[in-house]
Amino acid sequence: MAFLPQAVRAHAIWDAWHWPGLSTSPQPVSSTRPTQSGPRLHRDGFVPCVGALCLSALAISARARLTTRRAIPTQKRIPVVNLGGQKIGEEELQFRTFSRETANYCVHQAHTIYKYQQLPFTIFRKRRSDMKKGKKLWKNKGVGKARMGSIYSPLWGKSATNKNRHGLDDRRKKFLPRLFHSKAISTVLQSKWRCMKIVEGLEDITEPRYYELTDMVRAWTGMEAGIKQTLMITRSGYGEEHKYWCIPTRASFRSPLYMAGRLIPNFSLRRPRDMDPDSDGLHQALLGRRVIISREAFFDLKAKFDAHDGWAFQSPKKILIAQMQKLVQEYPYDRQAEFEAAREVPKKLAQREFWAKEMRESS
């Protein structure tokens, strides 16, 4: 009983008193007869049922785990604004999240493992086992020098010790489940509801205007663009710089939003498909102090991370079955009519060609 929390001990004692077959009142212990219940139970004046205590404690812990597993956040109202910053409506945000008690630790673990997996591990220093044997220049005794085995020893500076970098051999096997990673991304996006704005007409911008975009960001966020880290999620606003030339790639010129915002400091553009375990969605969501989402991208994220039926938390088999069921409802068919049509087709492949030709000519 001493190792259980106070609330669990109270419930366990109550269940022990009201367990079927036991009296509802505490049973006093005779002072003349020795007991084996210990000094604590003898002082309390009753002998509770140990089995009832264990069952009650297990039931309470099971209920607590079930409640944590089914934790669904409350719906949040996200304002919808136009390009000028005027509010024109609201949308409901309810993504699947971790529980309140574990969200902080789970997101930190997912982000730590993701950042570790992105390390290159390209530095390779040759160790003594990677070098050739070399020659022993002098014997151990009678020379007056320290003993040596080879000039390729780390003491001679031609090889590295086992503490230096050794390429991919230094990489640890850290596994990050895809479902866990997706849930971490949706948890972070749900936590950004206070600094999130949905913009109507953001996908319709066709000209890469830097100053116009900075004015829009000021109208949406209430501060100058670049002061705080801002994340913009749109379907078309994405690009990247060349790895060596430090200029936008050829595909980046097709995105006016990226060309307009690539020079804004502390400003990142991502697509809904980038808020995924295959990309840096978790890192960018954590960095963003202001989140701007186009209305079309918001619906994509809602279908992906919804608390009830988000497809990011379903298996591919379950998604396929649901899509096939929708196709069956959309295109109903009569099985008997299908059988009759199949019986009209000749059995031999050589005859089917002429049969199909006659059917085309007759129709």
Say what the pTM is: 0.71
Dump pLDDT digits (tens) for 214-257. Answer: 999 999 999 999 999 999 999 998 899 998 998 999 999 999 99
Query: Is residue 312 pLDDT above 60, yes or no?
Result: yes
Query: Is residue 201 pLDDT above 50, yes or no?
Result: yes
- Of 64-78, 89-103, 112-126, 307-321, the one with minimum mean pLDDT is 64-78
Domains parsed from the chain with CATH numbers: 6-69 (no CATH), 76-96+177-313 (3.40.1370.10), 122-170 (no CATH), 333-362 (no CATH)
> Does residue 268 contact residue 226 with C-beta atoms inside 8 Å?
no
pLDDT on residue 89: 95
